[in-house]
Chain A
């Protein structure tokens, strides 16, 4: 059974650009959640999608957005990139909504903003 796949693994972008990250969940999983990890702040919750609907959102500016498709694949978009957006972005998939079941994490996308 394939795990959670995130693409790309590494990305370098310039300040002001936008970026789209992709997450393919484990087959049959309906929830995808996104996280940002930085040395200073650690892991922080961004948002969760369940059956194509955003269930909840962490404390991040509106430049961070996401969506989920009918096949449960999810994308995360960050517009007008800032240097502080440099981080490891992780997604996790769950069979049910995140609060009710175990989460399986992808390897992450390491984003560097220059």
Chain B
């Protein structure tokens, strides 16, 4: 079964710290998504990556296709960054061809 592994599951940090969330997947993909979910359920798409690196404000996402690994970084973290961060991949062949999700990383930024 193609799986998506995220680490850590839970992360508590102080405001201003540099945050890294990791995502590993098992087989070839066509794209990887990083999503943010706040309490109440709404999901916001942060990045879609197929190679390299993307940056948006204080958020940076990188992907290493050879190592089947992606990281989401948050610089100068703020309490409003507290949310669940979810990695999702689109596998490039076979299966249902929909998104496969990680279990999410619960991030709490304390003031």
Contact = CB atoms under 8 A, between A and B. Distances in A.
Nearest to A34: B98
Interface residues of B, number: 23
A56 interface: yes
Contact of A107 (B31, B35, B41, B86): B41
Contacts, number: 66
Q: Is the interface of B mostly helix, strand, loop or mixed?
A: strand
A58 B98 contact: yes
Interface range for A: 20 to 34
Interface in A49-76: 55-59
Interface of B: 30-31, 33, 35, 40-45, 48, 86, 88, 90, 96-104
Interface of A: 33, 35, 37, 42-48, 55-59, 88, 90, 92, 98-108, 110
